[in-house]
Amino acid sequence: MTTDYDKIAKEYQESKLQPWRTHIERYTLLSLVGQIQGLCTLDLACGEGYYTRLLRRLGADPISGIDLSKGMIDLAISQETTEPLGVQYRVSDVRDINFGAKSDLVFAAYLLNYASNYEEILSMCEAIVRNLKPGGRFVTVNNNPDDPPSNFETGRKYGYSKRIHGRLEEGSPVHWSFHLPEGTVEVTNYYMSTLTMERALHEVGLTHIHWHKPQVSPEGIQRWGESYWQDFLANPPITFFECTKR
């Protein structure tokens, strides 16, 4: 069963403060995004707007954030009200959006791992391609399908752990726990193989798929030391890719 983010919006927001989020997730994603000054951008499954705001500050314009959870979008809008950046937010299933093929960049942090079967990932990919200009880019981070279940507890030192019930197979629920100072917050998403993801991307006309491993920021190495990150990098729980609309 998928996670209802309305119930954990604030806690999930706090999980973004864990060091691996800043020094690996954010650093790698923003390196992949590159120069985006003036690019029409969509942030799908934007949550409370963590990346939407960062992309806007990097020059994305116009930019909209879309999320299924009203609780998450309420948090995003309240931050937009406190510090207006000119971001538009909308509560919607990303599979329903149609802004026209206008976006230069579609970005999504942890959207595809909410698809529990081929039809669902296909309809997410159709939405991505429907909203991208020809030649536009899709940049994303999701669960790493190659992270073996035997590795699921090594994340504890970084503040998270994962578990599954039974065998890890297409559509298996993957339960993440983020261990925060105030307690543990749990989210559930789904396992999907690289092959299935690539099949859906190709089917909708997304090509030039480049997978990227996590990178640690120079600040992360300086602050925590190189050896601190070794377990994460040896079996990364997340993976990144970019691709292009034909």
Ligand X SMILES: C[S@@+](CC[C@H](N)C(=O)[O-])C[C@H]1O[C@@H](n2cnc3c(N)ncnc32)[C@H](O)[C@@H]1O
What residues between 111 and 150 interact with ligand X by CB under 6 A? 111, 114
Residue 100: partners with Cβ closer than 8 Å, 6 or more residues away:
131
Residue 135 zone, left/alpha/beta (φ > 0; ψ -120 to 50; rest): left
For residues 66 and 128, which CB has a smaller minimum distance to ligand X in the complex? 66
- Provide the b/e sequence for 192-219 (b: ≥16 CB within 10 Å): beeebbeebbeebebeeeeeeebbbbee
Q: Is 50 in the site for ligand X (CB under 6 A)?
A: yes
Q: Which of 72, 128, 132, 192 binds ligand X (CB under 6 A)?
A: 72
The DSSP call for residue 212 is E
Q: How far is the CB of 158 from ligand X (least distance, A)?
A: 16
Per CB under 6 A, contacts with ligand X among 11-30 are: 16
Distance in Å, CB of 226 to ligand X, minimum: 26
Least distance (Å) from ligand X to the CB of residue 214? Answer: 14
Question: Shortest Cβ distance from residue 161 to ligand X (Å)?
Answer: 16
Structure-block tokens of residue 174:
């993957």
What strands, in cross-sheet order, belong to the sheet with 173-180?
160-163, 173-180, 183-190
Residue 109 interacts with ligand X (CB under 6 A)?
yes
Of 26, 41, 42, 47, which one interacts with ligand X (CB under 6 A)?
A: 47
Would you say 75 and 10 are in contact if contact means Cβ atoms under 8 Å apart? yes
For the bound state, the minimum distance from the C-beta of residue 227 to ligand X, rounded and expressed in Å, comes to 27
Q: Which helix (H) or strand (E) holds 133?
A: strand 132-143
Among 32, 33, 68, 121, binds ligand X (CB under 6 A): 68
